[in-house]
C-alpha cells in the first residue's frame, strides 16, 4: 500500500503548484517593474508638460500685466493725449516681442491705437456694433477684469489673442471710461514657451475665449484630449483658462524590458520547478525503497511494523477483528541452482502478484524476509474464514509457475493464521501465533519441470 505523499501524482501536483507560485511571483515582479517604469515615464511627461504650461502661462500673464500700467494711467488721466499714449504704448511693446498693437476705446469706440501704421481702419471702430467682439467687451465690463479673447485669425495674417481690460475712473464714482485692448501674437507666445519645440511630445490647446475644457481646440491634435495616456494641465488666465494636453507623438511608450523579464521569469520558474520535481522524485524513491522490497516491490518489514501498529490502535478503538496470515515459501534453492537467481526472483515476483490478486483492496501484503510473506485481511474476522482463506492462499501459491523458454516449476507454501484481538493485541504476538500455526500445517512440497524433473 503506497502513501499518497509518495506518489508521482502528488509530486507533480506540488511541482505544478510551485511553478504557478513562481510564475505568478515573476509576473507580479514584471507588473511592478512596468508600473514603476510607467510612473517614471508619466512623471517625466508631467514634468515636461508642466514646464511648457508654466512658461506659456507666465508669458501670457506677464504680457497682460504690462497693460495694467496703461489702465491705471488712463483711470487717473481720462483725457490722455495721443502723444502721451504713443510714448506709453511704445515702451510697453519694447518690453516684450508678443504685443502687436495696443488700443484704447473710450465709451467703447477706438480712439487711440499704436502703432497706427497699418491699423488706420480700426480708428473709430464701435464695439457695440460688432456681434463678434462685443460679447467679450461686455464680459470684461461686467466682471471688471481683463478677459482674453481668441485666438482669432487676423485680417493682416496670423493668429492673435486679444486682451480687453475695462477702465474705471478714479473719480470717486468709479465711472466706466472705456476699454484698453492688447493684441498678442500667438506664434510668438508658443515659441517662447517651447510649445513649438516639443521633441517627442505632442501638444494641444483648448478653451478658446478662456472657456477651459468646454472651449474649442485651437492648437494641435484634438484627439490628444481623448487619449488615456495624455496629461491635461490648466493654464490660468485673468478670467477663465485654457487647457493644455500633452502625450507622446507615437502613442504610449512601450516597456521594452517586459518581454525579456517575463521570459526570464518563466524560464527560471521552469528550472526551479524541474529541480524541485527531481528532488521530490528522488526523495520519494528513497522513501519507497526504504519501505519496499526491491524484487517484489511489496511493502517490507519496516512498512509492516508501522502499518500494523496503526491498524491495531484503530481496531482496538472500533473493536473490530482482523486476520494475519504468515506465509513461508520453500523450494527456491533447486530453482536457483537449476535456472539461476534471476529465475528464482521471477518466481518470487509471480508469487507476490498472486498474493496481491487474492487480497482485497484494503489488505496489506508484505515481504518480511527471504521467502516469508505476511498478509493482513481486515475482512476476515473468524477462524473459519481464516482457515478457508489460508487454504486458498496455499492453493494459489503452489500452482505451477512458468519460466519463459524453460517450462514450469512449482514451489511449496505453508500458511499460518492468527486473529486479532483473540490471539493477541501486538504485532509480535500475532506474528508468533501465526508462525506457530504455520508449523502445525503441512504443505505438499514438489517441483515439476519441463523434463518431468522432480526435486
Domain-by-domain residue ranges, the chain? 1-291, 297-440
Q: Which pLDDT value is given to residue 451?
A: 34
Long-range Cβ contact pairs of 309-316 (< 8 A, separation 24 or more)? 309/427, 311/376, 311/378, 312/420, 312/425, 312/426, 312/427, 315/378, 315/420, 315/421, 316/421, 316/425
Other beta carbons within 10 angstroms of residue 155's beta carbon come to 8
pLDDT surpasses 70 at 243: yes
Better-scored residue on pLDDT, 31 or 422: 422
What is the DSSP-derived secondary structure letter of residue 282? H
H or E stretch at 322: strand 322-330
Output phi, psi for 414, to 5 deg. Answer: -125, 140
Q: Which of 173, 117, 145 is nearest to 239 (CA)?
A: 145
Give pLDDT tens digits for 424-451.
Answer: 999 999 999 999 999 887 544 433 333 3
Computed over every residue of the chain, the mean pLDDT equals 88
Burial of 35 (0-12, 13-18, 19+ CB in 10 A): exposed
Q: What is the C-alpha to C-alpha distance for residues 331 and 43, in angstroms, rounded to an integer?
A: 88
Q: Which CATH class is domain 1-291?
A: alpha beta
Task: Give residue-wise pLDDT tens across range 352-368.
Answer: 999 998 887 778 999 99
pLDDT for 251 equals 60
In which region does residue 405 sit, left (phi positive, over 0), alpha (psi from -120 to 50) or beta (all else)? left
Which residues partner with 255 through β-bridges? none
Residue 242 Cα distances to 147, 150, 182, 185, 196, angstroms = 12, 11, 18, 16, 17
Residues 260-319 pLDDT 10s: 888 888 889 899 989 988 888 888 888 888 889 999 999 999 999 999 999 999 999 999
Residue 2 has pLDDT above 50, yes or no: no
Integer Cα distance of 2 and 361 in angstroms: 12
Dist. CA 194–CA 279, nearest whole Å = 63
The reply to whether domains 1-291 and 297-440 share a CATH topology is no
Tens-digit pLDDT profile for residues 156-203: 678 899 999 999 998 778 899 999 999 999 999 999 988 888 678 899
How high is the pLDDT of residue 26? 87
Per-residue confidence (pLDDT) for residue 255, from 0 to 100: 65
pLDDT at 282: 87
| CA–CA dist 123, 292 (Å, integer) | 113
Q: 297-440: what fold?
A: Alpha-Beta Plaits (3.30.70)
Cα 447 from Cα 94, distance rounded (Å): 128
Q: Is the pTM of this model over 0.75?
A: no
Summarize pLDDT for 30-67 with one digit per residue, the tens.
888 888 888 888 898 899 999 999 999 999 999 999 99
Judge contact between 235 and 57, C-beta under 8 A. Answer: yes
Q: Of 356, 351, 321, which is closest to residue 430 (Cα–Cα)?
A: 321
Task: Name the percent of the chain lying above pLDDT 90.
Answer: 59
Residue 452 pLDDT grade (very low, low, confident, very high; cuts 50, 70, 90): very low
**Minimum mean pLDDT among 69-73, 283-287, 341-345: which range?**
283-287
Amino acid at each position: 500500500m503506497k502513501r499518497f505523499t509518495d506518489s508521482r501524482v502528488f509530486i507533480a501536483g506540488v511541482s505544478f503548484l510551485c511553478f504557478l507560485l513562481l510564475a505568478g511571483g515573476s509576473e507580479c515582479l514584471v507588473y511592478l517593474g512596468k508600473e514603476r517604469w510607467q510612473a517614471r515615464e508619466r512623471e517625466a511627461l508631467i514634468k515636461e508638460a508642466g514646464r511648457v504650461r508654466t512658461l506659456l502661462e507666465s508669458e501670457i500673464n506677464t504680457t497682460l500685466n504690462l497693460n495694467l500700467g496703461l489702465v491705471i494711467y488712463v483711470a487717473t488721466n481720462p483725457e490722455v493725449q495721443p502723444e502721451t499714449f504713443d510714448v506709453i504704448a511704445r515702451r510697453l511693446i519694447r518690453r516684450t516681442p508678443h504685443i502687436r498693437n495696443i488700443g484704447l476705446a473710450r465709451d467703447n469706440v477706438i480712439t487711440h491705437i499704436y502703432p497706427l501704421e497699418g491699423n488706420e481702419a480700426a480708428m473709430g471702430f464701435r464695439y457695440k456694433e460688432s456681434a463678434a467682439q462685443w460679447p467679450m467687451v461686455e464680459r470684461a465690463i461686467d466682471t471688471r477684469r481683463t478677459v482674453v479673447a481668441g485666438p482669432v485669425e487676423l485680417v493682416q495674417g496670423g493668429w492673435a489673442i486679444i486682451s480687453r481690460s475695462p477702465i474705471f475712473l478714479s473719480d470717486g464714482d468709479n465711472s466706466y471710461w472705456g476699454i484698453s485692448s492688447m493684441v498678442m501674437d500667438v506664434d510668438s507666445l508658443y515659441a517662447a514657451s517651447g510649445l513649438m519645440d516639443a521633441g517627442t511630445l505632442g501638444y494641444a490647446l483648448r478653451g478658446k475665449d478662456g472657456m477651459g475644457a468646454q472651449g474649442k481646440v485651437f492648437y494641435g491634435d484634438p484627439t490628444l484630449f481623448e487619449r488615456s495616456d495624455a496629461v491635461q494641465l490648466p493654464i490660468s488666465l485673468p478670467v477663465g483658462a485654457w487647457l493644455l494636453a500633452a502625450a507622446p507623438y507615437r502613442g504610449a511608450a512601450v516597456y521594452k524590458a517586459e518581454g525579456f523579464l517575463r521570459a526570464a521569469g518563466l524560464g527560471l520558474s521552469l528550472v526551479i520547478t524541474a529541480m524541485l520535481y527531481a528532488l521530490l522524485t528522488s526523495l520519494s524513491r528513497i522513501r519507497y525503497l526504504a519501505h519496499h522490497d526491491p524484487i517484489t516491490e511489496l511493502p517490507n518489514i519496516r512498512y509492516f511494523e508501522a502499518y500494523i501498529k496503526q491498524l491495531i490502535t484503530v481496531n482496538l478503538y472500533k473493536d473490530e477483528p482482523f486476520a494475519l496470515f504468515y506465509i513461508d515459501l520453500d523450494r527456491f534453492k533447486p530453482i536457483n541452482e537449476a535456472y539461476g537467481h534471476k529465475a528464482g526472483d521471477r518466481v518470487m515476483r509471480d508469487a507476490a502478484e498472486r498474493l496481491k490478486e487474492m487480497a482485497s483492496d484494503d489488505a496489506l501484503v508484505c515481504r518480511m524476509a527471504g521467502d516469508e510473506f505476511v498478509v493482513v485481511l481486515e475482512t476476515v474476522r473468524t477462524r473459519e474464514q481464516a482457515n478457508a482463506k489460508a487454504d486458498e492462499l496455499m492453493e494459489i501459491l503452489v500452482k505451477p509457475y512458468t519460466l519463459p523458454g524453460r517450462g514450469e516449476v512449482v514451489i511449496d507454501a505453508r500458511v499460518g493464521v492468527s486473529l486479532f484481538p483473540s490471539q493477541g493485541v501486538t504485532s509480535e504476538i500475532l506474528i508468533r501465533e501465526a508462525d506457530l500455526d504455520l508449523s502445525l500445517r503441512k504443505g505438499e512440497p514438489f517441483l515439476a519441470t519441463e523434463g518431468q524433473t522432480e526435486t
